[in-house]
């Protein structure tokens, strides 16, 4: 039996790989063939396999709604349900209304055990999701881009992309790679490097130098094709050799070389980083810029399946929205995603920027936190709001459930529905008396501050002296 289950898993994985590569499959033919081959598999496994084969595969896994806000009182599962929301969007099996119904009502029916965790882990491992928590000192420079001290801690500042720009750039690159026309004119890698070398030589002939950074230049190309550096470099022996460039450029282009620290030495016996690593990293960026101007594909860049990317913003209403989002407050609208006419030039890097269609923004907001300003009206108009409510049916312990219902009835009558206690307070794996004393009582003190009568009623419900 164990051997049969292992065989099933292997077949299932192979089918998922085929689907993930976006190949066109006749589901009926594949189903007939597969059923004949594995007719001895257990019934429940066969049903699961048929579900995978017969479902409409959505490479895009796309929803029209891209900006989603989960809001409600503390303990209603806002942050917890972000995970479920991401996994349900990624799964591609449910309509928008059904996904929202699952999230709002904390439902798990029709979802296979473990599938949420599996999908979410896949997204995390592929680095397609980022988390950030807003606070009152959070800024545009943290979120989009700005100047920050360089990696050596020098006084000189470097331009650095913030968390939102980094995930947006990843999503944009995937979107572009998913739209590659593989029949377009292609260059092999040696041709690309030769064209770039010719481009540098043309600049040297005209201007006698070629800038790879604000202060670093190429002064000449020696007889072995190496770039001889100058500018602020005092030594005239610094060279960038074609061997290292050819070794690393594709790794840079594929995202495996993210900084100069990833540029390895020529030999294993040398230091962990190449001595000219900073300058090699600069030249890779220059080659990438040059490649874009050619309007061709290098043969090494292959078409990818389109994937979704996600940024989760916790406590979004604690930040200064206008200060953090800047011009992006317009760009995040669903109907403006990816459209050239809405492209903006970022103020620090002076580069064009759009928010791609395959990037989802998911945010949470504590609706009872009155110590901070209400959410920016511009942001409210651009998000779809899902109100999370306490759900006592999720509380399995009878005494805890009765306590939650009685307290929430009092809170609803005195303060309003928005202040009712979330179910997570009553689902914690700890002693109920401890939860009442150190979790619920301090919250009630805050809720009923200055209202001695109703506070005493709440304490009586808690059975506290």
- Please check the confidence at residue 151 and state whether its pLDDT lies above 90: no
Burial of 195 (C-beta count, 10 Å sphere; 0-12/13-18/19+):
middle
Region 424-437: what's the mean pLDDT? Answer: 82
Which helix (H) or strand (E) element contains residue 2?
helix 2-20
Sign of the CA dihedral 336, 337, 341, 342? positive
- Answer yes or no: is pLDDT of 328 > 60: yes
Q: Is the pLDDT of residue 16 over 50?
A: no
The per-residue pLDDT for range 35-67, each reduced to its tens digit, is 333 333 344 444 443 443 333 333 445 678 999
Query: According to the model, what pLDDT value does residue 464 have?
Result: 56
pTM value > 0.85: no
Average pLDDT over residues 102-125: 77
Whether residue 292 is predicted with pLDDT greater than 50 in this model: the reply is yes
Q: Inform me whether the pLDDT recorded for 221 exceeds 70.
A: yes
pLDDT beyond 70 at 160? yes
pLDDT digit string, tens, across residues 263-275: 887 644 445 556 7
Backbone angles phi, psi at 92, to 5 degrees: 75, 10
**Quick one: pLDDT at residue 363?**
94
Among the listed ranges 90-104, 177-191, 193-207, 318-332, which one has the minimum average pLDDT value?
Answer: 177-191
What pairs with residue 344 in β-bridges?
353
Q: Which one has a higher pLDDT value, 112 or 96?
A: 96
> String of b and e for 305-326 (b: at least 16 CB within 10 Å)?
ebbbbbbbbbbbbbbbbeebbb
Cβ 212 vs Cβ 283: under 8 Å: yes
**Span 198-220, pLDDT tens digits:** 899 988 888 888 998 888 889 88
3-state secondary structure of 18: helix
Question: Tens of pLDDT along 332-369?
Answer: 998 889 888 888 888 888 888 999 999 999 999 888 77
């Amino acid at each position: 039996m164990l051997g049969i289950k292992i065989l099933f898993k292997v077949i299932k994985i192979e089918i998922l790989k085929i689907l993930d590569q976006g190949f066109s499959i006749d589901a009926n033919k594949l189903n007939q063939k597969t059923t004949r081959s594995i007719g001895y598999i257990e019934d429940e496994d066969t049903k699961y396999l048929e579900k995978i084969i017969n479902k409409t595969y959505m490479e895009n896994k796309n929803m029209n709604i891209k900006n989603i806000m989960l809001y409600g009182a503390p303990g209603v599962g806002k942050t917890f349900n972000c995970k479920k929301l991401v996994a349900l969007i990624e799964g591609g099996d449910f309509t928008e209304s059904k996904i929202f119904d699952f999230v709002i009502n904390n439902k798990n029916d029709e979802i296979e055990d473990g599938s949420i965790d599996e999908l979410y882990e896949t997204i995390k491992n592929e680095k397609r999701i980022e988390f950030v928590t807003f606070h009152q000192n959070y800024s545009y420079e943290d979120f989009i881009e700005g100047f920050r001290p360089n990696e050596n801690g020098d006084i000189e500042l470097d331009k650095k992309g913030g968390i939102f720009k980094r995930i947006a750039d990843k999503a944009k690159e995937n979107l572009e790679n998913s739209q590659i026309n593989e029949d377009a004119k292609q260059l092999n890698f040696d041709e690309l490097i030769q064209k770039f070398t010719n481009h540098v030589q043309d600049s040297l002939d005209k201007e006698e130098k070629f800038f790879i950074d604000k202060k670093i230049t190429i002064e000449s190309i020696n007889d072995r094709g190496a770039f001889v550096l100058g500018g602020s470099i005092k030594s005239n022996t610094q060279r960038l050799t074609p061997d290292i460039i050819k070794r690393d450029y594709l790794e840079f282009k594929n995202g495996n070389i993210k900084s100069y620290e990833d540029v390895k030495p020529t030999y294993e016996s040398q230091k962990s980083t190449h001595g000219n690593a900073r300058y090699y990293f600069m030249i890779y960026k220059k080659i990438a810029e040059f490649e874009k101007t050619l309007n061709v594909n290098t043969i090494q860049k292959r078409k990818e399946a389109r994937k979704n990317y996600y940024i989760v913003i916790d406590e979004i209403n604690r930040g200064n929205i206008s200060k953090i989002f800047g011009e992006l407050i317009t760009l995040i609208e669903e109907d403006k995603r990816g459209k050239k006419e809405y492209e903006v030039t970022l103020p620090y890097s002076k580069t064009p920027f759009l928010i791609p269609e395959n990037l989802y923004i998911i945010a949470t907001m504590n609706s009872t936190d009155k110590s901070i300003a209400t959410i920016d009206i511009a942001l409210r108009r651009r998000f779809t709001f899902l109100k999370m409510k306490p759900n006592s049916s999720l509380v399995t312990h009878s005494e805890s459930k009765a306590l939650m219902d009685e307290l929430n009835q009092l809170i609803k009558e005195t303060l309003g529905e928005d202040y009712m206690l979330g179910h997570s307070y009553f689902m914690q794996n700890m002693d109920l008396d401890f939860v009442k004393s150190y979790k619920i009582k301090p919250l009630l003190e805050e809720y009923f501050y200055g209202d001695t009568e109703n506070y005493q009623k709440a304490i009586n419900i808690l059975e506290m002296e």
